[in-house]
Amino acid sequence: MAYDIEYDPKAVKQLSKLDKSVALFLLDGIEEFAKNPVLTKIKKLKTPFDGAYRLRIGDYRVVFYQEDNLMLISKIAHRKDVDF
């Protein structure tokens, strides 16, 4: 099952602040996961992100919500800066 990807404006802003090569690496990782979801790379989050999942891409973490075949990216951050 493949996902359609939608980005929250906050996530787009976070991506734009990253180095271009890192941002492209993350976008490729998100698209690859959306095409072929591998459950070992994600973790379901608890409060305050009820219903959210965390996708690990290298040293970065991507928080997203899943609804049917839609993947809503809400946050992108380096693992040292993530506060779940």
Which domains occur in the chain, in start order?
Answer: 4-78 (3.30.2310.20)
C-alpha to C-alpha distance for 79 and 53, rounded to whole angstroms: 14
**pLDDT tier at 67, thresholds 50, 70, 90:** confident
Average pLDDT, the chain: 90
Q: According to the model, what pLDDT value does residue 9 have?
A: 97
Q: Which long-range CB contacts under 8 A does 29-34 form with residues at least 24 apart? A: 29/55, 29/57, 29/58, 29/62, 30/5, 30/55, 30/57, 30/62, 30/71, 30/73, 31/5, 33/3, 33/57, 34/2, 34/3, 34/4, 34/5, 34/71
Query: Span 53-62, mean pLDDT?
Result: 93
Q: According to the model, what pLDDT value does residue 41 have?
A: 79
pLDDT above 90: residue 30: yes
pLDDT above 70: residue 50: yes
Q: According to the model, what pLDDT value does residue 26 have?
A: 96
Q: According to the model, what pLDDT value does residue 81 have?
A: 84
